């Protein structure tokens, strides 16, 4: 992958704006020097401790944005990778990695993502000490972080100071748009993906000029190279240059890619400061939500589930699965589903569903078989029984099939959801052990809280972020 050799003519207005933003977000020379010193000191300290412990450590390195200078002035975590022999057991890897990290860092805490790691402090910086294996073939990783040294070497050999400045601009643009970060909660672009795209297209503007005409799914390919064998159902496909069978963009959702595509065109047409400004979302209260549902003539029901003790990257896919399962079942039950959302707080998971009406009709038209089929007799026997809840029929429809009108037992959406929840597949860890752990309430009966605010903003405050509040 190479930078753009013939960049298209840039936008003078965007050039002036980006020069100003670049000066604001770039770390000062003093900070860059301090980060460089900390990188060296951190690696030297780890090596010394490893020697004292007779640790099987093969290599320690600082990689990522701290190593390449692509970090933003107000956002820097130092990533320290502790690489061990490939034949070391995973239990020993974890023990040695945590031991070295605890010996070097202060204020440490063990965290878990796809891989356990240690978060701590070193000389005033946040540091993530991540154990992995010192592999020789990046296409054969043993843990999720084993390719990192190869990523570091690949980018460090290709990024010029000009490209580094463009990477920072792109990160700030993606961050302001809300699509920066590959965590399951965000479903956006990792820093590595942003760097590869800037390298591929030469600049932020080059990337945005390409992106404005993308059609999902997008495949970014190298010239004169066979397309990698990667899944076609994802939003964006960009082969990892150190492992062509890995999609660097696998975490990116279609929604966030679509947002980027729209933003690319809008920014190039009208560059402005707001495209680089990160705003904290204002609370979205229950009262505001109720005012909007009154204006819209809709109804919102809220399902509350106990939060399982899971790391975010495991939890959020299950939360989204639960949201889909509940919304789809509500639609199958005869309600018009307008939208759904979900959110998480320390003790609970919330799913909110907006429907056109809080109650479905009392009458349900039950389909029967066409006249002449053997099972007509079974249908008639069932619906002419004295205790059958029949309002009308059985009768013959215009198309020659039988029908009967029955009375629905549960009509309000909350009763329907309570009835169907026990049989829904909500995710392995979200299905509650006790029915009493779940509540299903109309929004009018729900209490305010951070998760409810987030879910309601996503459900009732949807708007392209660069347009500002409604």
Question: CA quadruple 25, 31, 36, 42: dihedral positive or negative?
Answer: negative
Q: 85-107 pLDDT, tens per residue?
A: 999 999 999 999 999 999 999 99
Of 21-35, 234-248, 364-378, the one with minimum mean pLDDT is 364-378
Kindly indicate the confidence band of residue 317, based on its pLDDT and cuts at 50, 70 and 90.
Answer: very high
pLDDT score for 5: 40
pLDDT tens profile 340-388: 999 999 999 999 999 999 999 889 898 999 988 877 888 999 999 988 8
> pLDDT digit string (tens) for 422-460?
888 888 888 877 767 899 999 999 988 999 999 999 999
CATH-assigned architecture of domain 286-359+411-467: 2-Layer Sandwich (3.30)
The tens digit of pLDDT for each residue in 111-153 reads: 887 678 899 999 999 999 999 999 999 999 999 899 999 999 9
pLDDT at residue 255 is higher than 90: yes
Contact between residue 425 and residue 451 where contact means Cβ atoms under 8 Å apart = no
Q: Tell me the percentage of the chain whose pLDDT exceeds 70.
A: 95
The pLDDT score that the predictor gives to residue 226 is 53
Q: Please, what CATH class does the domain formed by 12-276 belong to?
A: alpha beta
402-427 residue pLDDT tens: 999 998 888 999 999 999 998 888 88
Residue 202 has pLDDT above 90, yes or no: yes
- Give the confidence band of 330 by pLDDT, cuts at 50, 70, 90: very high
pLDDT of residue 228 exceeding 60: no
Spans of all domains in the chain: 12-276, 286-359+411-467, 372-407
With 90 as the cut, is the pLDDT of residue 45 above it?
yes
Q: Is the pLDDT of residue 207 over 70?
A: yes
In order of 31, 242, 276, the CA distances from 27 in angstroms are 6, 29, 16
Strand ranges of the sheet holding 243-247, from the earlier edge strand across to the other edge: 218-220, 236-240, 243-247
Give the contacts of 404 (CB within 8 A, at least 6 positions apart): 365, 366, 368, 383, 390, 392, 393, 394, 395
Model pLDDT, residue 78: 94
């Amino acid at each position: 992958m190479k930078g753009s050799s013939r960049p298209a003519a840039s936008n003078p207005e965007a050039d002036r704006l980006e020069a100003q933003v670049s000066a604001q977000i770039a770390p000062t020379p003093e900070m860059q020097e301090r980060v460089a010193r900390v990188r060296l000191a951190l690696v030297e300290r780890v090596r010394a401790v490893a020697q004292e412990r007779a640790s099987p450590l093969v290599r320690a390195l600082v990689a990522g944005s701290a190593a390449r200078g692509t970090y933003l002035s107000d956002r820097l975590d130092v990533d320290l990778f502790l690489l061990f022999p490939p034949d070391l057991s995973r239990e020993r890897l974890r023990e040695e990695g945590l031991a070295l990290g605890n010996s070097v860092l202060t204020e440490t805490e063990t965290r878990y993502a796809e891989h356990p790691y240690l978060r701590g402090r070193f000389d005033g910086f946040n540091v993530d000490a991540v154990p992995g294996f010192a592999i020789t073939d990046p296409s054969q990783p043993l843990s999720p972080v084993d390719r990192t040294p190869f990523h570091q070497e690949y980018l460090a050999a290709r990024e010029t100071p000009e490209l580094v400045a463009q990477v920072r601009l792109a990160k700030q643009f993606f961050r302001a748009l809300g699509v920066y970060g590959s965590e399951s909660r965000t479903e956006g672009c990792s820093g590595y993906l942003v760097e590869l795209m800037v390298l591929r297209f030469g600049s932020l503007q080059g990337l945005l000029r390409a992106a404005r005409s993308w059609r999902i799914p997008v495949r970014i390919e190298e010239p004169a190279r066979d397309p990698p064998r990667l899944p076609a159902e994802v939003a964006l496909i960009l082969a990892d240059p150190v492992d062509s069978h890995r999609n660097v963009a696998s975490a990116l959702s279609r929604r966030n890619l679509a947002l980027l595509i729209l933003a690319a065109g809008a920014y190039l047409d009208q560059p402005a400061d707001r495209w680089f400004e990160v705003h904290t979302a204002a609370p979205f209260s229950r009262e505001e939500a109720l005012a909007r549902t009154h204006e819209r003539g809709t109804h919102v029901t809220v399902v509350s589930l106990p939060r399982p003790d899971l790391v975010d990257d495991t939890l959020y896919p299950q939360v989204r699965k639960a949201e889909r399962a509940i919304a789809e079942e509500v639609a199958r039950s005869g309600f018009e589903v307008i939208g759904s959302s979900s959110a998480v707080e320390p003790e609970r998971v919330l799913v909110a569903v907006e429907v056109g009406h809080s109650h479905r009709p009392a009458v349900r038209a039950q389909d029967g078989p066409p006249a002449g089929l053997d099972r007509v007799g079974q249908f008639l026997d069932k619906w002419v029984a004295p205790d059958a809840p029949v309002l009308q029929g059985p009768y013959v429809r215009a198309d020659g099939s039988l029908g009967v009108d029955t009375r629905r037992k549960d009509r309000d959406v909350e009763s329907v959801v309570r009835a169907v929840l026990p049989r829904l597949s909500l995710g392995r860890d979200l299905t509650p052990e006790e029915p009493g752990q779940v509540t299903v309430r109309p929004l009018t009966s729900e209490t305010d809280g951070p998760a409810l605010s987030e879910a309601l903003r996503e459900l009732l405050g949807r708007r392209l972020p660069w347009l500002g509040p409604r």
